[in-house]
Amino acid sequence: MSISLKILTIIFFSIPLYSQTIASEVNIENLGVEISNTNISPITELLNNPSIYLGNNVAINGKIVDVCPMMGCWIEVKDSYSEEVIRVKVKDGDIIFPKESKNKEVLVEGVFSKLDFTEEQAIQWKIHLAEEKGIQLSSEDITLDASDLVEYRIQGLGAKIIDLN
């Protein structure tokens, strides 16, 4: 584990234990189950070696770059060490990610999974994602490539959203 990753892990798990001064400058929002996995996996590692991690409980950290605008049932997290992004999906209503969490740091624990789409399912998925953002698309508007037929994601169980003031 790199030094910066260790430091970030310590921050995520130890902030409440430190002085009131530090705690008052950092706002942590806990969602879902209490995070117990302290072995943070870089998103690039998960995406480059998916067969090793499929079905396993993993922890990631990064910056929230997008939030489901409809029900707060997913976030997209950008890896802290690369440009890779992964979707964290939760059961509707189990966790509601606040729209204001965009651009905040997050620590997530969940199960690494893979979705295989047919071409029709991939088209419908893209239409659905656009509709969530108020954009109307038809199947004729969508061009697919091989990457659109597979989505790796984390079935989120718990998250800590960090707002560093």
- Provide the residue ranges of all domains of the chain, joining segments of one domain with +: 3-114+151-164
What DSSP character marks residue 122? H
Superfamily of domain 3-114+151-164: Nucleic acid-binding proteins (2.40.50.140)
Mean pLDDT of all residues in the chain?
Answer: 86
pTM for the whole structure: 0.78
At 18, the pLDDT band (50, 70, 90 cuts) reads very low
Tabulate helix, strand, coil % of the chain (nearest 5): 35, 35, 30
Q: Alpha carbon 148 to chain centroid distance?
A: 18
Query: What's phi and psi for 148, nearest 5 deg?
Result: -75, -10
Cα–Cα dist 79/87, whole Å: 11
Rounded average pLDDT over 28-42: 94
Residue type, 66: D
Residues contacting residue 51 through CB under 8 Å, at least 6 positions apart: none
Q: List all residues 6 or more positions away from 116 whose beta carbon is below 8 Å from its beta carbon.
A: 149, 150
